[in-house]
Structures are given as structure tokens and as C-alpha cells.
């Protein structure tokens, strides 16, 4: 992994590919490369940032076909040799690849026994050699890629070019690919931002598809027969994927949260009746028989799921749990017919979440996805999907998608509670009213950005940062700590506040700022006792009290006021944590949009 771009058309391919790679930088990478093709294949690749690749690229090229890649290392260190594209010995076949080929050792040994020599440590390099073998028998590139794909085990998205063969041939299994259709040619990419300035008309290949990309469009083969995939218009444009005057995508996306939240709830709420329309098909009889709702997710999405699980148990009167997808097993005597499994994934391509979902499906459970990405793998594998409608998120550290996930899951809570008859219309109206007020409350926090920036300047040199909260504040504490460690590289931990005295308090000193959630929905009075505990050890406290907890302000060194918003107040407090993390990282000069070792969409397990 991490980013693929391909182009076949009438325009010069070099600038198109170079710009496409730049658009994909947000996914995270440690090396990059481009292959331009025609009668020959010319490959340029370098470890490091795109600036290193630019130094070796030609000033111009007449080639109108090519592929490019930004790599995030899984096999072999970041080196020029390990960068993509990879070629066969003749240099006539070039391949870009996302994912992992699990049987590459076996295939490599077989090829070495036939005289093939390898120059990298990657699993990818076996692919061009295998393609070379098939092409040598006189078969065309589509047949060659199809044959080779059948021999590969694992997950992958492949783009292949070969000298003397028209266009690009691609295939996918468990890793995303998207096709884009412009007047001047056809695009292949791992994500829409790679080419969105050229077109918003896209289609999404399915697992096992083999695609021949040409200037006129794409021919899709499934099981050897031609087929078609629906072309849709993505609902955002190039401007939405640009910084818009902000220094970083992350800061722009923090400020986009009021808009994203309005989009998440728009057209879904009938506040008068206390009802929600999510356009999903969950029979009332089935919902009434439910014994448990299980969320499976990773990282930020897991924290959103934790928040939702607590809301569901309170409002929908059903046992709910959130599990880290990589640790998930469907067991414990659960009845699959009485268990709904909800996959929460921003990209819809997270490998661990998809694997957990498949385990649940094999057990016979009904499945639902909450995602941001139309056409993603998860949407094709679940029984129903709810989109969070946050728009494109470029920064690796999720901000607006977390907020939109929680808002959407709150809508799901009301929907399930009303369908099950466990939430009265009055209770529903109260929560829906809070959801209506969420965009405005977040905007109030954003209007106090300068206060957060000044606080970040004061505490930027802390040895470590602890985030604490209870109940709905606990998952927000986890999320706050994750944001800070992701982009500042500082040690940060989130705790359920009561756990401080069960070990972590030993780490508290005058050099460890504590950020505390003191709002409705977070058992603020009890958390205030924990604030006093850390203050007695000399730790500075930055608190997020709601208006009804105004007395708490006198117990903290810095008070970030949270507007009254009921059970959603911890979610509003999270925006302060996002801003604090951003400014700490910026003061340290970190690569905020592309933090080291991280990728936007984690498509390997």
C-alpha cells in the first residue's frame, strides 16, 4: 500500500500522474514512483517525499499512458529498490500494488528456480515476473493479469502496464480501486481525490474484476466475461479536496465540522414526531427480537462506536458492545439471529474491520455499515448501509468523520429505540433537538480557537498528556489522546477517569498536563474528584466544563467552555481536543497531514 494512480488518454501522462500522486499524499507514504509506457516502459522511483521523485523525473514526456504509486512499507524498508513500480528483468512490465501477497515466498522460490532474479525485498516484485512468463507464451495483457491474479493469495489492488500493450490492466481483491472517466481519458486510482480535478464520474470495480483501461473508457471482465459497473457522480468537487487557505488539511477539516454535521442529519430528522429516517431495511419484528448490537471498528471509528454503544444501551434498551475489529470473534454463545453487527469505517476499506464483518456474516448475523464512502467494499458486503455524508477527509488524523460518525450513530440510536418502542417521542425529540444544535455548538468552540492556541503554547513542552472522562467522556478521552499522539508524536493516554488511581496516577507530575471532560453525559461531579487528585500532585489541568458546571472552572488551570447540549456535550468537547492537538503539533513543526508511519486507509491486516 498506499496510493495508486493510472492514466490513459490524449494528454501527456507525466503531469497527470505527478499531480495525482500529490493528491494522494494524504494517505501516507515513504517512497514514490512513476512508470511511463509506450513502445518501452520507463520507470522513475525514489524513497522519501515526492520532491525526491521530482528530481529524477524528466521535464517532459510524450507518453500518454502511465501508472504511479506512493508506497507505505510492509515488505522491506523504504529504499529506491523497494519503491514501486516494480518491473520484470527485461523492464518491459511494470506493476503498482496495494495490499499483501501472502504466498510471495513460494512464488518467488518458483521463479528463482526458473532463472528469475529479484532486486527488491518486496512481495510485489513477483507479479511482473509472473506476468512476463504468461506474456512470453503469446497471450495478451488482460489474460496475463487474470492468470496471475488467480495464483495470488492475500489482498491486493494491481495496476499493470507492458511495452507494446495498449493501456493499463488492473484487478482487485480486498483492496480498493476506482475508475474515473474524463473527456480526455480514463483514470485508475485507489481513491477519488487522485483525479477529482479532472472528473467526478466514477465507477467502482468489484472483487475479482479484471479491468482493461483505455483512452475510451474501461472494459471490465468478471469470471472471463465482459460486464459493466454503474457509473456514478461523486458529490464533491476538487475544491472540497483542497486546503482552501488553511495551513493544513486537518485544520480545514476541523473547521468543516459544522457543515459535515448538517449534512449528516439533513433530511433524516422529523423532530415533531421524534422520528428518524435512515433509508435502511431492518424489519420491526427482527429489531424487537434483538439481544445485542455489536460494533466492530478500529482507531477513531472504534472510539465513535464506544460512544454509540453507551447511547444505545441507555436509549434503545439493548445490550451493546464495541470491539476492536482486529480482536473480534463471533462467539460467547451469541445467537446470530438476535445479534446485529455494525461495522464502523470511514473508508469502507479497513482490512481488519472487513475481516471482522466477514466472521460475523459466516456466523449468520445480520450486518450494517456506517461509512463515509460510496461504493466502498463494506457497502457491497453488508445487508444495509448508513452513510455519514462528511465529504472528503484528506488529513490522516480523522476529525470531521469522527464527529459525523457519532452524530449518525446517535440517529441510529433514535431509529432503533423508536422502532423497538423503548424510546418515547419526548425522549427522541430531546436527543434530536440536541443533534440539531450540534453544528452551532461546534461552531461556538471553533470561535474560541485562539484560546486553545494560546494554551497549546503554554503546555507544548509537557512530558506527557493525559485525557480523562467518564461515561460518554471516556471514549472522547481516548480519541483526544489518539489525536495528540498521531500528529505531535508526544506520549498521550486516555483513561476512564476513575482508572487514574489504579496505576496511571504514578505517572502524574507537574510536567504532565491533564485534559478533563466535565460535561453532562460524563459524570462531571465524579470526574472533578479526579481533577483534584491530579492537581494535588502538581499537574496542570485543562478542563472542558459545560455551562451548568461553571463552578468547575475554579478547579482547573484553563477552562474551555462547552455549550449546553445534553448527551452530546462530550462530543463538542472533543473539538477543543482536536484544536489543542493540532496547535501542539504545529508548534513542534510536525508533518500534520502526513504523520510518520501512518496511512489514511489501512487496507492490510
Q: List pLDDT tens digits, range 92-146.
A: 999 999 888 889 899 999 999 988 999 888 888 999 999 999 999 999 999 999 9
The verdict on 195 and 236 lying in the same domain is yes
Q: What is the pLDDT of residue 554?
A: 77
The verdict on 288 and 223 lying in the same domain is no
0.85 surpassed by pTM: no
Q: What is the pLDDT of residue 149?
A: 94
The verdict on 14 and 135 lying in the same domain is yes
* Cα separation, 116 vs 123, whole angstroms: 14
Instruction: List the catalytic residue out of 108, 483, 594, 600.
Output: 600
**Cα dist from 101 to 3, 175, 356, 373, whole Å:** 17, 12, 20, 25
At 181, is the secondary structure helix, strand, or coil? strand
* Cα separation, 11 vs 19, whole angstroms: 13
* Cα separation, 340 vs 343, whole angstroms: 10
At 47, is the secondary structure helix, strand, or coil? strand
Q: Does residue 595 belong to any structural domain of this protein?
A: no
Query: Smallest Cα–Cα separation from 175: which of 387, 348, 374?
Result: 348
The verdict on 439 and 478 lying in the same domain is no
Q: Does residue 94 belong to any structural domain of this protein?
A: yes
Q: What is the pLDDT of residue 281?
A: 86
Mean pLDDT of the chain: 90
Q: Does residue 605 belong to any structural domain of this protein?
A: no
**Cα dist from 164 to 6, 135, 141, 168, whole Å:** 17, 11, 10, 11
Q: Does residue 602 belong to any structural domain of this protein?
A: no
3-state secondary structure 360-391: HHHHCCEEEEEECCCCCHHHHHCCEEEECCCC
Q: Is residue 339 within a helix (H) or strand (E), and if so which, with residue range?
A: strand 339-345
pLDDT digits (tens, 9 = 90+) for 530-549: 888 888 888 999 999 988 77
Q: What is the pLDDT of residue 79?
A: 86
The verdict on 395 and 299 lying in the same domain is yes
3-state secondary structure 216-239: CEEEEEECCEEECCCCEECCCCHH
The verdict on 218 and 275 lying in the same domain is no
Q: Of 389, 420, 446, which residue constitutes the final position of a domain?
A: 446
**For residues 491 and 464, is the Cβ–Cβ distance under 8 A?**
yes
- What does the pLDDT average to over 87-95? 92
Q: What is the CATH number of the domain that holds 35?
A: 3.60.20.10
The verdict on 89 and 153 lying in the same domain is yes
* Cα separation, 68 vs 18, whole angstroms: 8
Q: What is the pLDDT of residue 134?
A: 94
The verdict on 382 and 495 lying in the same domain is no
Query: Smallest Cα–Cα separation from 561: which of 415, 447, 429?
Result: 447
The verdict on 375 and 427 lying in the same domain is yes
- What does the pLDDT average to over 45-61? 88
589 or 604: which leads in pLDDT: 589
Tell me how many domains the chain contains: 3
Whether 588 is catalytic: no
Range of the domain at 226: 2-241
The verdict on 406 and 319 lying in the same domain is yes
Q: What is the CATH number of the domain that holds 570?
A: 3.40.50.10490
Q: Of 416, 446, 476, which residue constitutes the final position of a domain?
A: 446
Q: Does residue 541 belong to any structural domain of this protein?
A: yes
Q: b vs e for 249-259, b when ≥16 Cβ sit within 10 Å of the residue's Cβ?
A: bbbbbbbbbbe
The verdict on 153 and 265 lying in the same domain is no
pLDDT digits (tens, 9 = 90+) for 137-163: 999 999 999 999 999 998 889 999 999
Q: What is the pLDDT of residue 73?
A: 65
pLDDT digits (tens, 9 = 90+) for 247-281: 898 999 999 999 899 989 988 998 888 999 998 98
Query: Smallest Cα–Cα separation from 519: which of 540, 494, 544?
Result: 544
Instruction: List the catalytic residue out of 2, 298, 403, 544.
Output: 2
Q: Of 216, 241, 266, which residue constitutes the final position of a domain?
A: 241
At 200, is the secondary structure helix, strand, or coil? coil
Q: Does residue 593 belong to any structural domain of this protein?
A: no
Whether 2 is catalytic: yes
DSSP 553: G
Q: How confident is the model at residue 569 (pLDDT cuts 50, 70, 90)?
A: very high
Q: What is the pLDDT of residue 1?
A: 54
Q: Which residues pair with 47 in a beta bridge?
A: 31
* Cα separation, 310 vs 296, whole angstroms: 14
Q: What is the pLDDT of residue 510?
A: 86
Angle of helix 569-587 relative to helix 473-488, nearest 10 degrees? 10
Q: Please say if the pLDDT value at position 393 is more than 90.
A: no
Sign of CA dihedral 493, 494, 496, 500: positive
Q: Please say if the pLDDT value at position 25 is more than 90.
A: no
Q: Does residue 601 belong to any structural domain of this protein?
A: no
Q: What is the pLDDT of residue 76?
A: 66
Q: Which residues, at least 6 apart from 532, have a Cβ–Cβ distance to it below 8 Å?
A: 555
* Cα separation, 345 vs 366, whole angstroms: 17
Q: Please say if the pLDDT value at position 602 is more than 60.
A: no
The verdict on 418 and 279 lying in the same domain is yes
Q: Does residue 51 belong to any structural domain of this protein?
A: yes
Beta strands in 239-297 (DSSP E): 269-270, 275-276, 292-297
pLDDT digits (tens, 9 = 90+) for 305-327: 999 999 999 888 899 999 999 99
Amino acid at each position: 500500500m498506499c496510493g495508486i494512480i493510472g492514466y490513459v488518454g490524449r494528454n501527456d501522462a507525466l503531469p497527470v500522474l505527478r499531480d495525482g500522486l500529490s493528491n494522494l499524499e494524504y494517505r501516507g507514504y515513504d517512497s514514490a514512483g512513476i512508470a511511463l509506457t509506450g513502445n518501452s516502459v520507463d520507470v522513475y522511483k525514489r524513497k522519501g517525499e515526492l520532491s525526491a521523485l521530482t528530481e529524477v523525473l524528466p521535464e517532459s514526456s510524450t507518453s500518454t499512458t502511465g501508472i504511479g504509486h506512493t508506497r507505505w512499507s510492509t515488505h522491506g524498508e523504504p529504499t529506491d529498490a523497494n519503491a514501486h513500480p516494480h518491473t520484470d528483468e527485461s523492464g518491459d512490465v511494470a506493476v503498482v500494488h496495494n495490499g499483501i501477497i501472502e504466498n510471495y515466498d513460494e512464488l518467488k522460490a518458483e521463479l528463482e528456480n526458473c532463472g528469475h532474479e529479484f532486486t527488491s525485498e518486496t512481495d510485489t516484485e513477483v507479479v511482473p515476473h509472473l506476468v512476463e512468463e504468461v506474456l512470453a507464451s503469446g497471450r495478451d495483457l488482460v489474460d496475463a493479469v487474470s492468470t496471475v491474479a488467480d495464483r495470488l493469495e492475500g489482498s491486493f489492488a494491481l495496476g499493470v502496464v507492458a511495452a507494446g500493450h495498449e493501456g493499463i490492466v488492473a484487478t482487485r481483491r480486498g483492496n480498493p480501486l476506482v475508475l474515473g472517466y474524463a473527456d480526455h481519458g480514463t483514470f485508475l486510482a485507489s481513491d477519488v481525490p487522485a483525479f477529482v480535478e479532472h472528473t467526478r464520474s466514477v465507477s467502482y470495480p468489484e472483487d475479482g474484476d479484471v479491468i482493461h483501461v483505455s483512452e475510451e473508457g474501461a472494459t471490465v471482465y468478471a469470471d472471463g466475461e465482459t460486464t459493466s459497473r454503474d457509473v456514478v457522480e461523486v458529490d464533491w468537487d476538487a475544491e472540497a479536496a483542497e486546503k482552501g487557505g488553511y495551513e493544513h488539511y486537518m485544520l480545514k477539516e476541523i473547521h468543516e465540522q459544522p457543515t459535515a454535521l448538517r449534512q449528516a442529519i439533513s433530511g433524516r430528522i422529523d423532530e415533531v414526531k421524534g422520528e428518524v429516517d435512515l433509508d435502511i431495511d431492518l424489519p420491526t419484528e427482527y429489531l424487537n427480537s434483538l439481544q445485542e448490537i455489536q460494533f466492530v471498528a478500529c482507531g477513531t471509528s472504534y472510539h465513535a462506536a464506544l460512544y454509540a454503544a453507551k447511547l444505545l444501551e441507555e436509549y434503545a434498551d439493548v445490550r451493546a458492545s464495541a470491539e476492536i475489529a482486529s480482536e473480534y470473534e463471533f462467539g460467547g454463545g451469541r445467537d446470530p439471529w438476535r445479534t446485529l453487527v455494525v461495522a464502523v469505517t470511514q473508508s469502507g476499506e479497513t482490512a481488519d474491520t472487513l475481516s471482522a464483518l466477514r466472521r460475523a456474516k459466516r456466523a449468520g448475523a445480520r450486518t450494517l455499515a456506517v461509512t463515509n464512502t460510496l461504493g466502498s467494499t463494506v457497502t457491497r458486503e453488508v445487508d444495509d448501509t448508513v452513510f455519514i455524508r462528511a465529504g472528503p477527509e484528506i488529513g490522516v488524523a480523522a476529525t470531521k468523520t469522527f464527529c459525523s460518525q457519532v452524530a449518525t450513530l446517535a440517529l441510529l440510536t433514535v431509529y432503533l429505540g423508536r422502532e423497538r418502542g423503548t424510546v418515547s417521542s419526548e425522549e427522541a425529540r430531546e436527543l434530536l433537538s440536541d443533534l440539531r444544535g450540534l453544528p452551532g455548538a461546534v461552531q461556538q468552540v471553533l470561535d474560541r480557537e485562539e484560546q486553545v492556541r494560546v494554551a497549546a503554547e503554554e503546555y507544548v513542552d509537557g512530558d506527557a498528556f493525559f485525557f480523562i472522562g467518564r461515561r460518554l467522556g471516556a471514549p472522547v478521552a481516548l480519541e483526544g489522546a489518539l489525536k495528540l499522539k498521531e500528529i505531535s508524536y508526544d506520549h498521550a493516554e486516555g483513561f476512564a477517569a476513575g482508572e487514574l488511581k489504579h496505576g496511571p496516577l504514578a505517572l502524574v507530575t507537574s510536567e504532565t498536563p491533564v485534559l478533563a471532560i466535565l460535561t453532562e453525559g460524563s459524570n462531571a461531579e465524579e470526574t472533578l474528584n479526579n481533577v483534584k487528585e491530579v492537581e494535588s500532585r502538581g499537574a496542570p489541568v485543562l478542563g472542558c466544563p459545560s455551562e451548568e458546571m461553571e463552578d468547575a472552572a475554579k478547579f482547573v488551570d484553563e477552562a474551555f467552555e462547552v455549550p449546553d447540549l445534553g448527551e452530546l456535550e462530550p462530543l463538542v468537547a472533543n473539538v477543543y481536543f482536536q484544536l489543542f492537538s493540532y496547535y501542539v503539533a504545529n508548534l513542534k513543526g510536525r508533518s500534520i497531514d502526513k504523520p510518520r508511519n501512518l496511512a489514511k486507509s489501512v487496507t492490510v491486516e
